[in-house]
Structure 1
Amino acid sequence: MTRLVRVPLADQVADVLAERIRAGEWPLGAKLPGETTLALQLGVGRSTVREAIRRLAGRGVLDSRHGAGVYVTALDAPEDWDQVLRRADIVTVIEARTAIEVEAAMLAAERRTPADLRAIRGALLARDESGRSVEDHVDADTALHRAIVVAAHNEVLTEMFDGFTARVRRAMVNMLRLRPVADEKMDQDAHAMLVDAIVARRPHAAAQASREHLSALKAGFA
């Protein structure tokens, strides 16, 4: 059965503007018409145009300059996260998590502060609560891993993690419904080992614990 996906109007407008840029209507460095003009051309509200411009600015195609207007800064952009992740299978998702989280675990062990440790320990404890739904488990697990990423004190890694996990939450929920964790205690112990390495300032041990946990998760779906 074909799955229908509702595309937000702002995304549709962003795609139209990007196509007009690629077609040469506005060359590199050109100033776009104002929001009111674009809204009339496209038959949408100004707020939708504004959101579409914001999304294209985030992809590096446009630059919104306060008081000066919106300018073309690139003629194309890499495919956005949503399109990539819609095609991704769960193994690909876990591989991407590994790329982010193993490095973050190592940096967290080097840079964590007392406040970071409180957040990480609290998240580990919350993750161990029983009787939760699959959705609650995924959210608790994500909160722990995010606390570790934040403790790395690298804004780019945090932004990548946030942008990534928000989009793959449903995939993780579906994954656990299909194949629940075989041994919840062992799984929790693996996370505790990761936390212990961060607490002890052992970066290589933290990276290894993170990699082993995610590799075991990947093995179940390969």
Structure 2
Amino acid sequence: MSLGALRPSPLVEQATEHLRDQITGGEWAVGTKLPGETTLAKLLGVGRSTVREALRALAGAGLVQARQGSGVFVIATKPKEDWSTQLRRAAITDVYEVRLLVEVEAAQLAAQRRTEEDVTVLHGALARRRDAANDGDAAFVAADIALHRAVVDAAHNPVLTGLFAEFVPVLERRLLDLVELLGLRSADANHGDAGHADLVSAVEQGDPEAAGRALRNELQQTLALLHSL
């Protein structure tokens, strides 16, 4: 079997792509032991270190697995989806259920850990959300997300901050759809203002229970509307 010579750069990416194509194309079925590093290096025209990095990338994609003393075996012919891809494909109700788990906890932590600077940012975000009520749906949704991000940031937990950041692209698209689908702003252009004001106040006052309750109520109301469709 000839895999073809590779261009000089980037070798690791090219080696990974070639090996992935062999696996997903059916050349190496599940359970097949891959040729050794030396053999693969010769077939691809690269060094063993390049092959080693390519195999690590394939292992990270869930396609191969190294077995101590036995070699590297194919364990799947389709790469596993990363978190971002799963989010993009997820049902909006599933997204909101996870938001409840993540953001309610973040709000409670924010009430315990917020600084004066955090409180200033929160009030600014609330004011911009109110100002955006006079603009289009896209601006309002962006301002709404910015306020939620400010709450998460005030928790001072980098894992929560990073997790919420993964949600943002999906939220922007889905919230725009929700605003139109549910007509959330048809009766009140500043939909949810009271709940968001309660959230900011609770964080400022250092009341974790009130902060969690305010955010939980908001998200649960939207989730209930979604389930009613």
The two structures share one fold, judged by TM-score above 0.5: yes
What does residue 139 of structure 1 align with?
142
- Unpaired runs of at least 5, structure 2: 1-12, 47-52, 65-71
8 Å Cα contact 1:138-1:172 kept in structure 2: yes
8 Å Cα contact 1:149-1:157 kept in structure 2: yes
SS of 1:83's equivalent in the other structure is helix
Structure 1 residues 163, 15: closer, same or farther in 2, change over 3 A? farther
Structure 1 residues 197, 136: closer, same or farther in 2, change over 3 A? same
- Report the CA distance between 1:24 and its aligned residue: 4.8
Work out which of the two has the higher radius of gyration on C-alpha atoms and give 1 or 2: 2
Which letter maps to 1:136? Answer: A
1:73-103 CA-partner distances (Å, limit 9, x unpaired): xx78863123322432221111111111000
Which letter maps to 1:16? Answer: R
Calculate percent identity across the aligned residue pairs.
Answer: 34
* Displacement over 4 Å in runs of 4+: 12-15, 17-20, 59-62, 75-78
Task: State how far apart, in whole Å, the 2-side matches of 1:177 and 1:15 are.
Answer: 45
Which letter maps to 1:122? Answer: G
Is 1:206 the counterpart of 2:211? The answer is yes
Task: State how far apart, in whole Å, the 1-side matches of 2:86 and 2:17 are.
Answer: 19
- Report the CA distance between 1:139 and its aligned residue: 0.9
1:95 pairs with 84, 87, 97, which one? Answer: 97
8 Å Cα contact 1:14-1:56 kept in structure 2: no
SS of 1:221's equivalent in the other structure is helix
SS of 1:128's equivalent in the other structure is helix
The farther-off stretch of 140-149 and 80-89 is 80-89
8 Å Cα contact 2:195-2:218 kept in structure 1: yes
Which letter maps to 2:180? Answer: R
8 Å Cα contact 2:84-2:166 kept in structure 1: no
Task: State how far apart, in whole Å, the 2-side matches of 1:189 and 1:208 are.
Answer: 13
Compute the TM-score of the two structures, normalised by the length of structure 2: 0.66
Task: State how far apart, in whole Å, the 1-side matches of 2:165 and 2:179 are.
Answer: 20
- Report the CA distance between 1:173 and its aligned residue: 1.2
Task: State how far apart, in whole Å, the 2-side matches of 1:194 and 1:90 are.
Answer: 23
- Report the CA distance between 1:179 and its aligned residue: 1.6
Q: Number of aligned pairs?
A: 185
Structure 1 residues 78, 114: closer, same or farther in 2, change over 3 A? farther
Is 1:25 the counterpart of 2:61? The answer is no
SS of 1:173's equivalent in the other structure is helix
Structure 1 residues 114, 170: closer, same or farther in 2, change over 3 A? same
- Report the CA distance between 1:38 and its aligned residue: 9.0
Structure 1 residues 174, 16: closer, same or farther in 2, change over 3 A? farther
